[in-house]
Amino acid sequence: MTENPFLGPALVEEATKKSGLIWVRGEGPERALWHLWHEGGVYVVGDGAGEQPLPGLADGGTAEVTVRSKDKGGRLVVWTASVSEVAPGSAEWEAVAPELKGKRLNAVDSEKVLERWATECRVLRLAPLSSTTELPDGSLAVPPVPSPATTRQPVPAALPRLLFSRRGAKKRGRV
């Protein structure tokens, strides 16, 4: 059976376009990043105030990108990418930055986000070099990245009594 040379690039493009997040590993830890697929590559923005971190991704380097299935969440394809930085004000920037702005959810300063990205952030292009759909032999589990976030505190002991008492049920119209 002959392998189709177009299947790998087509799978990379379609899976990446449809996925909301991609997992990217440069020289640092693997991170989930929101992204935009545009003209044969992925664009990510980060490393600025209020934006996603881009650890270990450097201009001229390479990265490993893992794309998950949107419906099942399982790993679909892994591809190696060349990393290049998009210069603010360039033709590529002018084509991509407004598209990225449209994908950016919950930006605090949505009117001035492009100016902030130009001065404080980096926009990177990840261009596919190779891909594989082979599953790994072992687990890909890694410890979580250190964070100041904490888990919830235990539920107060009185809360179930307040929620499920007869008086609370009357207020909700159940009794």
Provide the pLDDT for residue 3.
47
Question: Into which CATH architecture does domain 7-136 fall?
Answer: Roll (2.30)
Name the residue among 66, 68, 63, 35 with its Cα closest to residue 51.
35
Q: Where are the domains of the chain?
A: 7-136
Provide the pLDDT for residue 171.
61
- Sheet hosting strand 31-34, strand order edge to edge: 31-34, 21-25, 62-68, 75-85, 122-132, 41-46, 36-38
Q: How far apart (Å, rounded) are the C-alpha atoms in residues 99 and 93? A: 10
Is residue 44 over pLDDT 80?
A: yes
Provide the pLDDT for residue 41.
94
Provide the pLDDT for residue 57.
92
Q: How far apart (Å, rounded) are the C-alpha atoms in residues 154 and 160? A: 12
> pLDDT of 74-93, one tens digit each?
888 889 999 999 999 999 99
Mean pLDDT of the chain: 84
DSSP SS3 for 16: helix
The H-or-E segment that residue 119 falls in is helix 113-120
Is residue 117 over pLDDT 90?
A: yes
Provide the pLDDT for residue 96.
96
- Residues paired with 5 in a beta bridge: none
